[in-house]
């Protein structure tokens, strides 16, 4: 057999194994910009943070749900797999009998691992559906606001989730690339489902060589690579909508608006215009007005407008902008602005959301979807928008709005998580900690003792990618990988599939869940489905044995490059958009009809919940940018060598503008306490003139590590920004998370800094100290 190949969200590697141990992950030779993140894998497989065997929280064993306020603060007791799976089955059965399946929250949001079969959420959702269903979550943390808003404006999520104008067309046609939120290539290391070739750094260099000018509109000068020679406009965080309005106003008063485009392809400009010019509220949204809000000089805004009208311009908006208070608005305003410029559908013109946010964006994708593990049907209709997790747990029976509908938070008794880390990803972790005490039982499947596993009652340790067989498809690329098992599972870890099969077995549902297939039976089954999907489009994949032996298969992607909305531009009657008007909706009657003051019928500037221009800035004068980490995927592999080598004074690095640091007596390498009314954490200081004054950058994903376990408000000694962020929705329309809207203060930490314990296991009782186990099955 050929050497094994392994697919991860951040790249494809050839594992190097000796005597059954994984030594290294060598990148593919044909990957032009491999990600170093893979180097973290070998050292983490058997590290102290790995969960060695199934565990139950001590108080849960003796007192069950009555002990739930101790969740997160108690030691664990090792149990056998038979005990752990029986206990999980018994609890699920109890909850569904006493409260119905809607009392089980199985949303389980998270990125898990690449691989079509062992995808943790697919496994869990299939299992819970077999067991009668669960309350689910909708939309993503990545771009929830866009997912809800864009269908109203352009009829679907094109230009955000895929089908962007392709890089080669940008290279050949775009002369001005205006990047709100920059083009951080650190983010292009990853793509959900896997990457084989990291193309974005080369694509950007090609654009530059072909003469594309870049403008980086971001609080961080580092958001566009220095070699692209971008102009940096250090916008005040969360004020891009005002800046765009200033640009739009300039276009309008200088006669640069493309009226013919607006008339043919859009609806509602006449309802937006009085807002822009100020006839409705007496305030023209001119460049001077915008400058006072966004901190970019009025002349710079006017010049930008003229440059945009004078060249083929791509308006690019990072997903981060909509992960902020009123995050719908910068997207709607970008589409409005692009409509006024009239270049939508032309090669290299118009708009696109998320360039460089993932490797796949702007790379032409295959026109078909690959098979996934079938989920069956979920008979429970209840759901929450993904970020409303804590609100749901805290407010059973309370109504909430979402996209024109009115729904009710269910009363959750059981939470089950596999493949996500809410104690990293959720905003306002202290609020989550309070909310997390409400359910009667929490089950977590996880390879490592991250904070979510520590806050569980029943901990089911699972395998990682290299410890099992799977089918890997780099989703956006014509590349299939035989992800053959590389090493034996660490400790007693088992595949999510085997864990859930056993639990299904206790419930009399094994056959329904497994359909009689084992791991390789499923891998083969999914591969056969892939062959069929590819054959429909004229691609012949080899038979399974040939593929599995070869280790990988790559075919030609001959899909032509296209521009976003090019068909609509060519013929707006034949290619009507799936909006009520069939056109781009600068004004949406539908959204206006919902009556949300937080998201009216056209793009508007609304003050963010927290921002540097608001009253709260007097107490908390720094805006926290908690962006994606360069050295890991969210919290994944924070325990690995690549992430750990980036830490400063043992902690997650936070970057400060040198003036802000000086005012506070902070020097590079100092331990600094970041705080606000919601929480506090310790970070290691970096000083950089590329951080705009008034902002602090602290990446997400450092494992939450409170000095006192389970205490709400305890200092996090490791630097997880979500002890500081705000858990409020973007608006009643999308109910999306607002991670990028939080004000803080910083001070040098003068006490002896506590040692970081994030990567050590929690207290574990030896079997002899364990409380009596009363675990008979019903
Ligand atoms: N402040 C702030 N917060 C944010 C963001 C931000 O910008 N700022 N960004 C948000 C965004 S965009 C996202 S997508 C979320 C990401 O949030 P998550 O997707 O929850 O983060 P991950 O760290 O990827 O968590 C995946 C977990 O799955 C585990 N895992 C991996 N493979 C397997 C497996 O095979 N089986 C099981 N059972 N578990 C597995 C990993 O060990 C890890 O703990 O964070 C959000 N949170
Ligand atoms: N290496 C790595 N890559 C990743 C991930 C990872 O964890 N690690 N996560 C992946 C995931 S799940 C996602 S969703 C994408 C996310 O992709 P994005 O949402 O684009 O990523 P962020 O890094 O949060 O933000 C990008 C930049 O936006 C800027 N920014 C923040 N707020 C504002 C603002 O108000 N105005 C302006 N103009 N700029 C602002 C910040 O300076 C930040 O560096 O990244 C993906 N890529
Ligand atoms: Mo994301």
Domain harbouring 626, CATH code = 2.40.40.20
pLDDT of residue 369: 86
pLDDT of residue 766: 83
The mean pLDDT of 507-531, rounded to a whole number, is: 98
Whether ligand 2 lies within 6 angstroms of the CB of 327 is answered as no
pLDDT of residue 195: 95
Residue 679's pLDDT band (cuts 50, 70, 90): very high
- What is the tally of structural domains in the chain? 3
The mean pLDDT of 481-495, rounded to a whole number, is: 97
The mean pLDDT of 116-144, rounded to a whole number, is: 98
Both 119 and 199 in a single domain? Answer: no
User: Could you confirm whether 522 is annotated as catalytic?
Assistant: no
The mean pLDDT of 248-277, rounded to a whole number, is: 98
pLDDT of residue 774: 44
C-alpha 658/C-alpha 493 separation (Å) is: 47
563: left (phi over 0), alpha (psi -120 to 50) or beta: beta
Kind and range of the H or E run holding 314: strand 313-317
- Asked whether 60 and 457 are in contact (CB, 8 A), the reply is yes
Within a domain: residue 743? yes
Residue 768's pLDDT band (cuts 50, 70, 90): low
682-727 pLDDT per residue, tens: 999 999 999 999 999 999 999 999 999 999 999 999 999 999 999 9
Length of the chain: 778
Whether ligand 2 lies within 6 angstroms of the CB of 635 is answered as no
Within a domain: residue 601? no
Neighbours of ion ligand 3 (CB under 5 A): 142
Ligand 2 pocket test target in 183, 241, 627 with most atoms within 8 Å of CB: 627
Other CB atoms within 10 A of residue 594 CB: 18
Hunting for tokens 């360069």 — which residue is that? 630
Whether ligand 1 lies within 6 angstroms of the CB of 697 is answered as no
Residue 368 predicted with pLDDT over 90: no
Both 78 and 190 in a single domain? Answer: no
Helices (H), 407-543: 422-425, 429-435, 451-454, 496-506, 510-514, 519-536
| Domain hosting residue 154, numbered range | 144-366+576-594
Within a domain: residue 776? no
Report the separation in Å between the CA atom of 422 and the middle of ligand 1, taken as the mean of its atom positions. 7
Minimum-distance ligand 1 atom for the alpha carbon of 452: 44
User: Could you confirm whether 436 is annotated as catalytic?
Assistant: no
The mean pLDDT of 131-149, rounded to a whole number, is: 98
Both 549 and 512 in a single domain? Answer: yes
The CATH number that applies at residue 36 is 3.40.50.740
Pick the residue whose CA is nearest to atom 31 on ligand 2. 320
Both 354 and 421 in a single domain? Answer: no
Residue 390 predicted with pLDDT over 60: yes
pLDDT of residue 317: 98
Helices (H), 278-403: 287-294, 298-310, 328-341, 389-394
Q: Which of 20, 41, 60, 37 is nearest to 770 (CA)?
A: 60
- Asked whether 657 and 692 are in contact (CB, 8 A), the reply is yes
pLDDT of residue 770: 54
Report which bound ligand comes closest to the CA of 642. Answer: 2
Residue 50 predicted with pLDDT over 90: yes
Identify the active-site residue in 10, 111, 319, 522. 111
C-alpha 34/C-alpha 155 separation (Å) is: 36
Report which bound ligand comes closest to the CA of 737. Answer: 1
Residue 297 predicted with pLDDT over 50: yes
Identify the active-site residue in 109, 332, 449, 611. 109
pLDDT of residue 556: 87
Whether ligand 1 lies within 6 angstroms of the CB of 128 is answered as no
Residue 4's pLDDT band (cuts 50, 70, 90): confident
Both 527 and 496 in a single domain? Answer: yes
C-alpha 261: how far from its chain's center?
A: 35
406-464 pLDDT per residue, tens: 999 999 999 999 999 999 999 999 999 999 999 999 999 999 999 999 999 999 999 99
C-alpha 741/C-alpha 737 separation (Å) is: 10
C-alpha 463/C-alpha 736 separation (Å) is: 32
Calculate the average pLDDT of the chain: 96
Both 315 and 176 in a single domain? Answer: yes
Ligand 2 pocket test target in 37, 112, 334, 357 with most atoms within 8 Å of CB: 357
Minimum-distance ligand 2 atom for the alpha carbon of 181: 39
C-alpha 754/C-alpha 679 separation (Å) is: 17
* Sign, CA torsion 175/179/182/185: negative
């Amino acid at each position: 057999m050929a050497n094994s190949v392994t697919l991860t969200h951040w790249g494809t590697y050839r594992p190097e194994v000796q005597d059954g141990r994984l030594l290294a992950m060598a990148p593919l030779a044909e990957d032009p910009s491999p990600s170093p993140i893979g180097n973290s894998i070998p050292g983490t497989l058997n590290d102290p943070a790995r969960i060695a065997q199934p565990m139950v929280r001590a108080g849960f064993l003796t007192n069950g749900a009555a002990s739930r306020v101790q969740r997160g603060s108690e030691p664990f007791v090792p149990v056998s797999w038979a005990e752990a799976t029986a206990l999980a089955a018994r609890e699920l059965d109890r909850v569904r009998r006493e409260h119905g399946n809607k009392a089980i929250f199985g949303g389980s949001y998270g990125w898990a691992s690449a691989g079509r079969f062992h995808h943790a959420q697919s496994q869990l959702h299939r299992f819970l559906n077999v067991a009668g269903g669960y309350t689910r979550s909708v939309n993503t943390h990545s771009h929830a606001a866009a997912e809800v808003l864009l269908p109203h404006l352009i009829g679907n999520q094109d230009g955000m989730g895929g089908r962007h104008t392709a890089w080669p067309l940008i290279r050949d046609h775009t002369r001005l690339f205006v990047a709100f939120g920059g083009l951080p290539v650190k983010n292009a290391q990853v793509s959900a489902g896997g990457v084989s070739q990291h193309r974005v750094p080369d694509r950007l260099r090609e654009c530059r060589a072909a003469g594309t000018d870049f403008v980086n509109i971001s609080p961080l000068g580092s958001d566009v690579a220095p070699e692209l020679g971008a102009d940096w406009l250090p916008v005040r965080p969360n004020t891009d909508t005002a800046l765009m309005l200033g640009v739009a106003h300039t276009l309008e008063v200088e006669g640069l608006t493309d009226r013919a485009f607006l008339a043919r392809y859009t609806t509602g400009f006449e309802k937006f215009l009085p807002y822009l010019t100020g006839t409705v509220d007496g305030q023209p949204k001119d460049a001077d007005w915008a400058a006072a809000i966004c901190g970019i000089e009025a002349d710079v805004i006017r010049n930008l407008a003229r440059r945009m009208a004078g060249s083929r311009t791509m308006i690019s908006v990072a997903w981060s902008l909509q992960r902020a208070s009123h995050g719908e608005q910068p997207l709607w305003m970008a589409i409005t602005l692009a409509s006024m410029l009239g270049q939508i559908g032309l090669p290299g013109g118009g708009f696109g959301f998320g360039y460089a946010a993932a490797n796949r964006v702007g790379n032409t994708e295959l026109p078909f979807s690959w098979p996934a593990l079938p989920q069956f049907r979920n008979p429970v209709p209840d759901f929450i928008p993904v970020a409303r997790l804590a609100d749901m747990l805290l407010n059973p029976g309370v109504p909430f709005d979402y996209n024109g509908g009115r729904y009710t938070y269910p009363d959750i008794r059981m939470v089950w998580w596999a493949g996500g880390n809410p104690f990293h990803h959720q905003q306002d972790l202290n609020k989550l900690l309070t909310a997390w005490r409400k359910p009667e039982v929490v089950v977590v499947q996880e390879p490592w003792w991250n904070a979510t596993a520590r806050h569980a009652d029943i901990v089911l340790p699972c395998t990682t990618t290299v410890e099992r067989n799977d089918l890997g498809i780099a989703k956006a690329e014509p590349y299939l990988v035989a992800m053959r098992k590389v090493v034996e599972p660490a400790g007693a870890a088992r595949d999510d599939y085997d864990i859930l099969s056993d639990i299904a077995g206790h419930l009399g549902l094994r056959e329904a869940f497994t359909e009689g297939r084992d791991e390789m039976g499923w891998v083969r089954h999914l591969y056969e489905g892939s062959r069929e999907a590819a054959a429909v489009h004229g691609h012949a994949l080899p038979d399974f044995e040939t593929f599995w032996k070869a280790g990988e298969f790559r075919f030609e992607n001959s899909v032509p490059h296209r521009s976003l909305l090019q068909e609509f531009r060519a013929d707006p009657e034949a290619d009507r958009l799936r909006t009520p008007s069939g056109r781009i909706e600068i004004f949406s009657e539908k959204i206006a009809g919902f009556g949300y003051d937080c998201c009216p019928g056209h793009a508007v500037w609304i003050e963010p919940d927290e921002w540097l221009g608001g009253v709260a800035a007097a107490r908390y004068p720094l805006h926290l940018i908690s962006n994606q980490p360069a050295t890991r995927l969210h919290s994944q592999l924070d325990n690995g060598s690549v992430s750990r080598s980036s830490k400063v004074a043992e902690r997650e690095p936070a970057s400060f503008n040198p003036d802000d640091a000086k005012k506070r007596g902070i020097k590079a390498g100092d331990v600094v306490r970041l705080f606000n009314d919601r929480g506090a954490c310790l970070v290691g200081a970096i000083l950089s003139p590329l951080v705009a004054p008034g902002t602090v950058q602290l990446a997400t994903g450092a494992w939450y590590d409170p000095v006192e376990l389970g205490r709400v408000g305890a200092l996090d000694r490791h630097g997880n920004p979500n002890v500081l962020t705000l858990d409020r929705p973007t608006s009643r329309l999308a109910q999306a998370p607002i991670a990028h809207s939080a004000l803080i203060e910083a001070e040098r930490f003068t006490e002896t800094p506590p040692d970081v314990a994030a990567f050590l296991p929690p207290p574990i009782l030896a079997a002899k100290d364990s409380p009596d186990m009363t675990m008979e099955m019903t």
